[in-house]
Structure formats: C-alpha cells, structure tokens
Amino acid sequence: MASAFVFLVPATASAQEAGAKPQPPAFANPGGANWTMPAANTAATRYSELADITAANVGDLRVAYTFSMGVNRGQEAAPLVVDGTLYVVSPYPNYLYALDLTQPGAPLKWTFAPKPARGAQGVACCDVVNRGAAFADGRLFFNTLDAQTIAVDAATGQEIWRRQMGDIGIGETMTMAPLVAGGKVLVGNSGGEMGVRGWIAALDTASGETVWQAYSTGPDEEVLIGSDFMPHYDQYRGQDLGATTWPEDMWQHGGGTVWGWISYDPELNLVYYGTSNPGPWNSSMRPGDNLWTAGIFARDADTGQARWFYQFSPHDVSDYDGVNENILLDMQWQGQDRKVLVHPDRNGYVYLIDRTSGEVLSANPFHFINSSHGVDLATGRLQYNLEKRPETGRTISDVCPAPPGAKDWQPSSFSHSTGLLYLPHNNLCMDIEETAVGYIAGTPYVGADVKMKAGPGGHRGEFSAWDVAQGKELWTVNERFPVWSGALSTAGDVVFYGTMEGWFKALDARSGEQLWQFKTSSGIIGQPTTWRGPDGKQYVSILSGVGGWAGAIVAGDLDARDGTAALGFVNAMQDLPEHTTKGGTLYVFALP
Amino acid sequence: MSSRFPSFLAAVLLLASAPAQARELRVCADPNNLPYSARDGSGFENRIASVLAEELGADLRYVWAPQWRGFLRKTLNADLCDLVVGVPVGLERVRTTRPYYTSSYVFVQRGDAVPIASFADPALRSVRIGVHLIGDDGANTPPVEELATRGIVAGVHGYMVYGDIAEPFPLAPIIAAVGSGDIDVAIVWGPSAAFFAARQQPVLRATPVADHDTAVPMAFAFAMGVRQGDDGLAAEIDRAIAARRSEIDAILDAYHVPRPAPSPALTTIGVEP
C-alpha cells in the first residue's frame, strides 16, 4: 500500500519498566478457544491468549473458508465462536447465522431471521449496521434495527424471547452489541439525530423482563441518580441536573443515546458506558452543560443506580458522542495502585479515569485537535477553542476533529502481552460553509453545509500504538481512509485490523511493522476475532463489507457530487467508490 | 373552476387520437403527511398532482415513502418516480421548476390571545413557545435559529418535525398543544400550521412572521422537483402550472395555505414569479 507508512518513535525506557505497564484485571479473561462477546471480555481488552500465529509465521496466513452474509451493507459485527459453532449477525434485516466449525468448510447450521420492520431502514442515521451478538448461558442475545432485543437458543436457533425496546415511529433504532453482565443483558438505543432521548436497559437473561432502565437526560428519578451517586467533580452534584442544565424541557429530545460499548467490572459490580451527543444540533438553543450527554456513567449492575459520571464534552457543539469503548485496567499511577479505565474519545483525547471514583488522571491528545485546548484536570472540564465553535451563518474552516471524531465506534484493543493500546482511528477535519436549504416532512429549513476532509498529512485514517501510562503514541500507520474497523491483539504479539479498501492486515505488535495483508472482496469495517477451531488450529475471522457512516457513499449509493450527504462525510470519501464496492462476506484465516 | 371545461375537452380529444397506452406521471410522496400528501389522496399536493396529470394527459401513479432524510435519494434520484410536488427553491439534489407559491413560518395562538407577528415582540420572553426540531442533522427550523439568536430559550418546547408516523397526523401535535394550553404559541411552517389550526376547536389563529431582519429566512418559495437534467419534464411542468394556475391557487386556498404577499421586507429564499 502506497499510502501506508510507519513512523517509529522510540519507546521511552520508563514505559518498559516493571510495574509501569498496565495490567488487565483478573476478570479480563483473554479470548482462547472461544470468543463469546465482541470485546472478548467485560474489560473490553479484545485480546487473545492464542499464540500459534506469531510475528514469525503470520506471513503464511491464508483463507480457510468464506461465507456470504446475504446482505451487501456495512458489516460491523464481531464473529463469535462457542464450542465449535461460529455465530454472526448481518446488517438489516439482522440475520443471525450459525456455522458448524466441526464440518469441512464450516457449513450453515441454522439461520435465525428476526424479520424487523422495514421502516427501520429509513430511520437509521448511518447505514443499517449491527455490531453483533453476545453469548451467555447457551443463548445468543442481539438487537434488531427496529429496536428489539432477542434471545435465541444457541444450539437450535429457536427464539426464546424478544422484547420491543424502542419505537421506530419516533426515530429509535438499535445497532449496538449487548453486553451480558451479572445475569442481565445490557442494551441501549440509537437515534440521537432524530431527537430521541437516550437510555440503557438491563434485561433478565432468563426471562427478558426489564430489571432496570436509566435515561440519559431528565429528572434524577428517571436517570437513576440517588444516594449512591458520588461523582468526583462538583458540576455533577445537584438536584435533577439532567433537566436543569437544559432550557425548560429540551432534555426530552436531548439525545444522550447509548449506542456504543458497555464494560463491566464484576468485582466493583459496576457497568460503564458512554452517552451520545446532545440534541438538537443548534447548541445555542440549549444553553447549559446538557447533562448527562457526551459523557460516561458508572452504574450498579444490579440496580442501575448511578455511582459516578464524567462529561467528556460539556454542552457539545461538534457531535462528539461519548460512546466509545472503556477498557478496564489495573495500573500504578504516581506510585499508587489504581483501578482505571481507558477511553479514547471522539473529541481527540485518550482519557485515563479512576473507575472507582470517576477522577480523570490524564487526558492526552491522540490526534490533531483545534476544537479544544485540553482538559483541566482540576475541574475535569474540556477547554473549548471558541474560534472553532460552529455558529449559525458563520463560515469556519479546518475544525479538527470532524463530527465522527478523532475516533468513532471502531473499538481499540489492549494487549495483555505488550501492555499497549492499539487504536484504529480517523484523521478528519471539517469546514462549515454557508447555509443551504433543506426540507423534511414538508418543512423547509436552513442548515449549515458541513464538509469533512482529510486532516493534517492528507491521509484520513491511522492505526496507532498508545502507551497508556505515558499517555502518548509510540507508532502509527497512516491509511488512505479512516480505519473504521476494530482492532485485535494476540499473545503471538500480532495485531489485526482492516482498511476501507478491503485489506486485512497483521502488524508486529511491538514495532508496527506490517507483516501480512490480504485483500478481501469489499472494504472492512468489522471487528476481527480469533479462536481455536475443533481441529485445534488458531483461526482469525473478519467480516468484509464496506458501509457505516464512513462508507455510506458505497453502501447507500450516495452521490459523490453531494459533499454534504451522510452529514458531510461524503465529501471526505468521494474516492471510496474507486477503491471498493459493496459486499458482505465472512473471511476465516488460518496457517497452512 | 372555470378552466375545467377546456381540459375536459382536451381529454376527450386525446381519447380520440391518443395511442392506447396512456402516459404515466410517477410522483413520489409521503403517505402520511397531511396537509401535504396522504395515501388516500387528501393532501393538497395530491390534488395539485391530479390537476397536473390531467393537464399532461397522463395517468397518475404514486410511489409512497416517508419524506425523511434520504427521501429524494431513495425515490426521485433512484428513478422510482419523476416528480416531487413540493420542494423549496434552492434545494440541492433536484432540479426545481419555477416556484408556484411562497409561504412562511407563522405564529399560531389561541383566538383570545394578543396576536404575535414578530420575533421582536416582548411577549415571546414570557410565554411558552413550541418549535419543530429537525434532530442533530446540522440544522434546525428557522424559528429555532431566530429564538436562539435572540436568546429566547427559557420557555421553548421542542416537537420533532418527523412526528410519530404510527399516528394519523404526524405534524399535528405541536398545534394541538396550543389548543390544549400546553404551550401559548407555536412557530410552525405555514401550510401545516394553518391546516391544523383550522381543525382545532375552537379554531386557532395563524399570523405570518412579519420580520424582515431575521438571521435566517422565514419565507420559502416552493416549486416542483424533477431529477437534475430532466429539463424536458421541468419545461412541461412549468407550462402545466401556468395553464392551471387558477386551479392550483384554488387548491392552496382551500387548504388555507398562508401566502404572504411577496415583499422585499420579508426575509425570503426564492421568489414567486
């Protein structure tokens, strides 16, 4: 790849010292023979203990078999493997497939077709993606685009229960992968751009009954804020801040949806998840911090009661959702043992947060940022750059990062072996140009013309190794397009990711040197996983099929001349159709 | 409707001479978006489409899709239809015909309230105001922009413009909220505001926005939309609109579509010829 380039920065000695290296918590079981949830474990490390595939032999990796997903839309799901069966969810209409790994060529064992409402396609903001299923207790749990959560018997493919969790009539959809924690299935809604009100819900795995549901805006009673709530910073203390940090009742359409990743610490019995950006877009209509949007909640897994909250982007004006993954680690910080979480945010900072208290230990940029100057660690507040603040009727150039952020949903991986975080991310800025006429449901309006473009350097994506303790990048690989796929690291000290052109790549986890690549049929925006087959061999799996917000120009046949399509993302992706076409294929790789 | 007779005559003449296969006019419309369009043909855009089809000697065929984000991409620009009856002038992604009416945002109040006609009215700082929200699509309705510019945010209540498509009148709740007293004034796009205001008991008052100095336009000229490059159809539509002008105006009147006199004073996008 002409566009791929490796920049090596020598690792500092201190990062390599014993004790400085962050450790996975005891409950963070690495992936092994099975891979039962998208992030491998509830600490979200996306790491496998398998070491058959190494830096020395990964160059021999080849396709073992493939499987057509039957849908040529953006494929963001993680293939799961449990005891000789592979499970994977397609984009809308959300087929759940089971492949029999004990048979040659991994034939189809069963298909479950949930038949979601057709109307859901018109509601989804950014392609009709699904980020996968979760396995527990012999069952698979997944969400449908029309906002249902479904439990399916993993052995037979028969439905056990289904619950209608949201209403597409008001713009609610579901795209996230559930997390199973403490006997409950945790799910949340999408649709912030439709003015819906965000929530997370915990369903009983056995019955599907809702155990608790917590909104992201509104009065404390509905946000589940009570006497357990002990946030670290003053600005989160007070009565009904989810309502009072908004004008009147704007919080009812305030966004804060829960469409990203959820983590769980069974020792603290806390779940962690981020909330999306606030709505409506015109931020001057909603003066205030707009709690509890664009931030992270820690909640008691049994009751849903909030323990702490931290807001990455108070009064967000740039679509910086706070929903990215939270990786739970244990480490020494300034001489003390701390239980931390690591969160690479859309706003461009990697946050290191004490996960018992919500205190921000560090927040360092992993991308060129001019929309803010940094994070004040005393108050926790993001320091905005007012010169780059979007305002009606004002032309502003080169706002970085663009709305998809320095990093969007694409999940990073923490290697238990190298102690580094591997970050797939974007390099995108935007221009906000003159206003243009729009119209919806018969109603005309005037909106800003947002056009995204490549950030400094001209490339649009990066894959970086991040030193959590030092809070800095060790090396990065530049890619032509945003790296919209997830990352995977293994005990073989190999890391995997895919590009939107369709290359599936393996890098040396220590040096970043590219060791192997394979060109799949379509662009890759999925989540790589690895597992041991019934034959004893280590396999690596990935979905190929471009789409998502970044790839909507191909998956949704958008007009490349209309740079404002897909909320301005098309402008940055005009050449994607020259590099890939639609697809939907599972690839499984193994050594010969 | 005095112009009906000649077209009837024309239809008869066509029957006598036209080939057996009638021409088809394919129109994309929202099946549940009164007063604009509805599956049963009861919207004013449906009525206008019927007049046009008649003028063109064509059979009218509808392709129904909610007029949400991606509507034009998935319908007109996917070649499922050839015409969209109402689009604002200046909209990218379509070729617009000559505009055939201009409407504006209006203030809707209960009949006994002191009328508000301007964003400068100090009353707006002490009443509950309803506005339509677009979502976080990088945009909002002009009243939202204007209220925000003036710092009037305290009593503002948002209603999603999409509405609930499972309900019969997705655009009605904001107007019903004025009738029920949940809000004191709604600032809503003219055609839907007037249509639903007239159906409230008691009837509500709709007053067009009279300001000439708003940050964003409050009045928009509406045209029909065809695919970019479909100049032939656009020219035919322009001729048909001109030929059936009085009937189209009568339909707009019957639906109480507010059409403030074109005035340089009003901040407008597009101009009615």
ipTM, interface predicted TM-score of the complex: 0.86
Q: What is the pLDDT of residue A14?
A: 43
Comparing A436 with A497, which gets the higher pLDDT?
A497
Task: Mark yes or no for CB contact A443/B132 under 8 Å.
Answer: yes
Chain A nearest CA to B61, separation (Å): 20
User: Which helix or strand (DSSP H or E) is residue B245 part of?
Assistant: helix B245-254
Give pTM, 2 decimals: 0.87
What six digits make up the tokens of B196?
């639903």
- A6 φψ region: left (φ > 0), alpha (ψ -120 to 50), beta (else): beta
Our answer to whether residue A319 is catalytic in this structure is yes
Please give the full DSSP string across A210-222, using - where no structure is assigned.
EEEEEESSS-HHH
Residue A258 has pLDDT above 90, yes or no: yes
Tell me the shortest Cα–Cα distance from B22 to chain A, in angstroms. Answer: 30
Residue B73 forms contact with A (CB below 8 Å): yes
Q: Which residue of A431, A446, A553 is the best one to mutate when testing the B interface, meaning the one whose CB has the most B CBs within 10 A?
A: A446
Average pLDDT, chain A: 92
Residues on chain B touching A569 (C-beta within 8 angstroms): none
pLDDT confidence of residue A442 = 87
pLDDT over 90 (residue A108): yes
Whether A87 shows a pLDDT value over 80: the answer reads yes
Question: What's the token pair of residue A563?
Answer: 């740079």
Cis peptide before B202 (omega within 30 of 0): yes
pLDDT at B166: 75
> By mean pLDDT, which of A4-8, A450-454, A496-500, B231-235 is the weakest?
A4-8
Q: Does residue A536 belong to the interface with chain B, where contact is any CB pair within 8 Å?
A: no
Please give the structure tokens belonging to residue A451.
Answer: 């056009």
A vs B, Cβ pairs < 8 A, gives 190
Question: Which pLDDT does position B260 carry in this prediction?
Answer: 84
pLDDT at B269: 61
Q: Which of A265, A289, A319, A467 is catalytic?
A: A319
Residue A408's pLDDT band (boundaries 50, 70, 90)?
very high
CB contact under 8 A, B157 and A192: no
Q: Is residue A257 classed exposed, middle or buried when 0-12, 13-18 and 19+ CB atoms within 10 A define those classes?
A: buried
| pLDDT value at B19 more than 60 | no
- Are A447 and B68 in contact (CB < 8 Å)? no
Q: How confident is the model at residue A566 (pLDDT cuts 50, 70, 90)?
A: confident
- Is B158's CB within 8 Å of A252's CB? yes
The C-alpha of A245 sits at a distance from chain B's nearest C-alpha, in angstroms, of 11
Give the closest-approach CA distance of A286 to chain B in angstroms: 7
Cβ contact B140–A445 (<8 Å): yes
Average pLDDT, rounded, for chain B:
87
* Mean pLDDT of the A89-110 span: 97
Measured between beta carbons, the chain A residues lying within 8 angstroms of B154 are 247-248
Is the CB of residue A570 less than 8 Å away from at least one CB of chain B? no
For residue B118, the distance in angstroms to the closest alpha carbon of chain A comes to 18
Q: How far apart are CA A208 and CA B46, in angstroms?
A: 45
B192 contacts A446? CB cut-off 8 A: no
Q: Which of A446, A562, A568 is opposite residue B92, by nearest beta carbon?
A: A562
For residue B10, the surrounding DSSP H or E stretch is helix B4-17
Which residues on chain B are in Cβ contact (under 8 Å) with A567?
Answer: 137-138
pLDDT given at position B273? 40
Alpha-carbon gap, residue B132 to B160, rounded angstroms: 6
Tell me the mean pLDDT in the region A140-166: 97
Q: Which of A76, A146, A172, A193 is catalytic?
A: A193
CA–CA dist A198, A254 (Å, integer):
8
pLDDT tens across A365-377, in order? 999 999 999 999 9
Show residues of chain A in contact with B91, CB under 8 Å: 437-439
According to the model, what pLDDT value does residue A44 have? 98
- The per-residue pLDDT for B263 is 53
From the list A250, A285, A437, the residue facing B91 with the nearest CB is: A437
A100 is catalytic: no
User: Of B234 and B15, which is predicted with more confidence?
Assistant: B234
Nearest-CA distance from B102 to chain A in Å?
11
Tokens found for residue A472: 């800095």
Q: Do A439 and B77 touch (CB under 8 A)?
A: no
User: Residue A6: pLDDT band by 50, 70, 90 thresholds?
Assistant: very low
pLDDT of the residue at A389: 86
Interface of A with B in 236-295 (CB under 8 A): 247-250, 252-253, 255, 277-282, 284-287
pLDDT at B104: 95
Q: Is B271 on the interface with A (CB under 8 A)?
A: no
| 8 Å CB contact of A441 and B171 | yes
Give tens-digit pLDDT for A208-224.
999 999 999 999 999 99
Judge residue A541's burial from the number of C-beta atoms within 10 Å of its C-beta, 0-12 exposed, 13-18 middle, 19 or more buried. buried
- Cβ-based contacts of B161 with chain A (< 8 Å): 440-441, 443
Residue B18 has a pLDDT of 47
* Residue A29 designated active-site: no
CA atoms within 13 Å, Cβ hemisphere of B98: 12
| Residue pLDDT, tens place only, B177-209 | 999 999 999 999 999 999 999 999 999 999 999
**Span A33-45, pLDDT tens digits:** 999 999 999 999 9
Asked if residue A411 has pLDDT above 80, the reply is yes
* A171 Cβ under 8 Å from any chain B Cβ: yes
CA distance A380 to B112: 50
pLDDT digit string (tens) for B70-81?
Answer: 889 889 999 999
Instruction: Give the up-direction half-sphere exposure of residue A358: CA atoms within 13 A in the CB hemisphere.
Output: 28
- Residue B136 is predicted with a pLDDT of 55
More confident residue, A23 or B135: A23
Output the pLDDT for position A281.
Answer: 63
Phi, psi of A152 (to 5 degrees): -125, 140
Is residue A446 less than 8 Å (CB to CB) from chain B? Answer: yes
What is the predicted pLDDT for the residue at A554? 86
Q: Is the peptide bond before A401 cis (omega within 30 degrees of 0)?
A: yes
